[in-house]
Amino acid sequence: MMEGPYKYTRDGSGAVSRVIRVGTRKSQLARIQTDSVADKLKKLNPNISLEIVGMSTMGDKILDTALSKIGEKSLFTKELENALERNEVDLVVHSLKDLPTTLPAGFTIGAVLKRENPHDAAVLHPKHEGKTLETLPDNSVIGTSSLRRAAQLKKRFPHLVFKDIRGNLNTRLKKLDEKDDFAAIVLAAAGLRRMGWDNRISQILGPEDCMYAVGQGALAVEVRSRDADILEMVSVLHDPETVLRCIAERAFLRHLEGGCSVPVAVHTELKNSQLYLTGAVFSLDGSDSLKETMQTSVAADGKSSDAVDERVQRVGVTAGKISGEAQDAAERLGVDLAKLLLSKGAKEILTVARQLNDAR
């Protein structure tokens, strides 16, 4: 039954509970990720009912074009946000790396969950079992639709050839296994692990081989910013370390004005209250690059114990229960690192990369 914008359900004993509708993409991985968030919410709020609503997005429908060529930042998120706006769902679960660094008005990221392994992984064709990217034969073809992965790996493994591959995880693995087109494909380790396919990971690519995408490996819950009760409910899912790392990464990308269509990569670490951010930009073939590391303290000095303003968003993230001071420091770190790279010529590298990619 609907009551205003909310939906309620009545159980056998006549007790009424609010139905929280959770929007998700229809792919198997998206469903697994959404179910994991729904399970956590259900454990924390036994009195609510959750309903999962599956949707197809533009990114799921356009399968014959490289992602970077479509030129739409919100490829996998737009339809979900439309449903959120129309009150058809109350929250949406995304991979954080699919969410643009500036969200449309009226939306916010109410939770960033503990990050899974953020690195990329190489999955080799069964006939190359036991090999690595390094030991694959010359001119072996590697499938990836990511300019960021291709740029770094071309430079690191000049003996390999890189070609676009599209489709969800299941489709890509099928293309790898059932044809002889690819010797290997490169995917996010997090997705493979969530699907339970750890055994397919031939090697995890460390930062010296391939730095990861902004927000990679973290799940985000997007909500309507005015829904104080939903914001409050999902806020307990925030993982403070992941939030600070991802705020720094997103601030870096936002200040660089990078999106899906440019090769930008990051690496973050938080230890002893020091947040370290490494950021890099690359030309399409990886021959030209800039990479720098900066750090900042994210220790809250305790002086600002007054309540954090729940309405403050930092690069799209609302995290009222995490020190505002620490979040500000993380955001500044991202902006400062972007400024440093821009002062060394990052803009030129990215502009050329964008133009070349548009011309492909």
| Residues identified as active-site | 98
Please state, in angstroms and as integers, the Cα–Cα distance from residue 132 to each residue in 61, 183, 252, following that order: 33, 10, 31
Is residue 211 helix, strand or coil? Answer: coil
Q: What is the DSSP letter of 225?
A: T
Asked if 84 and 224 touch (Cβ cutoff 8 Å), the reply is yes
Cα 162 to Cα 86: distance, rounded to the nearest angstrom: 41
Q: Which two tokens stand for residue 83?
A: 């449903």
- Burial-class residue 3 by CB neighbours within 10 Å (0-12, 13-18, 19+): exposed
- Burial-class residue 47 by CB neighbours within 10 Å (0-12, 13-18, 19+): exposed
Q: What is the dihedral of CA 201, 277, 76, 105, to 10 degrees?
A: 160
Cα 348 to Cα 353: distance, rounded to the nearest angstrom: 9
Helix (H) or strand (E) holding 151: helix 147-156
Closest to 194 in 3D by CA, of 52, 75, 80, 34: 34
Cα 282 to Cα 291: distance, rounded to the nearest angstrom: 9
